[in-house]
């Protein structure tokens, strides 16, 4: 817009699509763990009409949730997550939100990850000495594969809260040694 031109800022629209990463932190809960509250937020996200209709996609990770969709739908879900927990007695919630939008091309969160992975794959083990080796999933050696579930392999004093630990039974993360 040329300098000196005025705009009716009340008519400025919203970006049509965005990617938002949010980390909702309930404060003042009875104990240090907030996993119950986060599970409630995930139920909201997964059961939300815009998610079920395919208008918003999501992925949960260890430090929050990524939502992709229209600006209105994405920010609406985050606001509803706040209200859901307030309705359940959480009086204070702090949320960190990072929202990105672009107009030059369509790009998903997975597209961004894939672009970096392609660059790393192109490195072809050309890492500088002293850098951390890349990690990849490798098939578990046959001598370690059993019919026992992950929970049965743990001693009775240890547990796993990994939701897909059984599905990962046949894989192990291993460090690729420097050559």
Q: CA-CA distance, 38 to 44, in Å (whole number)?
A: 10
- pLDDT, residue 142, reads 54
Question: Tens of pLDDT along 115-130?
Answer: 999 999 888 765 544 4
Terminal alpha carbon distance of the chain = 55
Query: Rounded mean pLDDT of 33-45?
Result: 96
What is the model's pLDDT at position 1? Answer: 59
Pairwise CA distance, residues 114 & 43, whole Å: 27
Q: Is residue 170 domain-resident?
A: no
Average pLDDT of 43-57?
98
pLDDT at 162 over 80: no
Give buried/exposed letters for 148-178 (b at 16+ CB in 10 A, else e).
Answer: eeeeeeeeeeeeeeeeeeeeebeeeeeeeee
Tokens of 158: 């240890």
Q: Is residue 149 part of a domain?
A: no
User: Is residue 138 one of the residues assigned to a domain?
Assistant: no
Q: Give domain status of residue 164, yes or no.
A: no
84 vs 166, higher pLDDT = 84
**pLDDT tens digit string along 127-160?**
544 444 444 445 555 544 444 444 333 434 444 4
> pTM of whole model > 0.95?
no
Percent of the chain with pLDDT over 70: 67
Structural domain that includes position 95:
14-105
Spatial distance between the Cα atoms of 24 and 136, rounded to a whole number of angstroms: 30
Residue 136 CB partners (closer than 8 Å, separation 6+): 173, 174, 176
Residue 21 is assigned to a structural domain of this protein:
yes
| Of 179 and 40, the one with more pLDDT | 40
Q: How long, in residues, is the chain?
A: 179
Q: How far apart are CA 21 and CA 10, in angstroms?
A: 27
Domain tally, the chain: 1
Q: Tell me what pLDDT residue 104 has.
A: 94
The rounded percent of the chain whose pLDDT value lies above 90 is 60
Is pLDDT of 175 > 50? Answer: no
Of 106, 110, 84, nearest in space to 95 by CA: 84
Does the residue 98 lie in any domain?
yes
Task: Look at residue 174 and tell me if it is in a domain.
Answer: no
Closest by Cα among 105, 42, 39, 109 to 69: 109
Q: Which tens digit of pLDDT belongs to each residue from 63-82?
A: 999 999 999 999 999 999 99
Contact criterion met (CB below 8 Å) for 124 and 141: no
| Residue 45 is assigned to a structural domain of this protein | yes
Question: Looking at residue 168, what is its pLDDT?
Answer: 39
The HSE-up count of residue 54 (CA atoms within 13 Å, CB side) is 0
CATH number at residue 80: 3.30.70.930
Q: Are 135 and 172 in contact (CB under 8 A)?
A: no
């Amino acid at each position: 817009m040329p300098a000196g031109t005025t705009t009716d800022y009340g008519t400025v629209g919203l970006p049509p699509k965005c990617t938002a990463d949010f980390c909702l932190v309930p404060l003042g809960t009875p104990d240090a763990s907030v996993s119950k509250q986060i599970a409630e937020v995930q139920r909201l996200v997964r059961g939300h009409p815009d998610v079920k209709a395919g208008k918003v996609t999501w992925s949960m990770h260890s430090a929050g949730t990524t939502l992709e969709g229209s600006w209105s739908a994405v920010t609406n879900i985050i606001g509803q997550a706040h209200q859901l927990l307030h309705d359940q007695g959480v009086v204070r919630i702090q949320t960190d939100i990072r929202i990105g939008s672009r107009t030059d091309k369509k790009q998903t969160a997975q597209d961004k990850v894939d672009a970096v992975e392609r660059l790393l794959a192109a490195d072809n083990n050309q890492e500088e000495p002293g850098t951390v080796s890349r990690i990849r999933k490798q098939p578990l050696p046959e001598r370690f594969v059993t019919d026992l579930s992950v929970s049965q392999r743990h001693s009775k004093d240890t547990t796993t809260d990994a939701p897909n630990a059984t599905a990962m039974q046949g894989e192990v993360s291993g460090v690729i040694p420097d050559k």
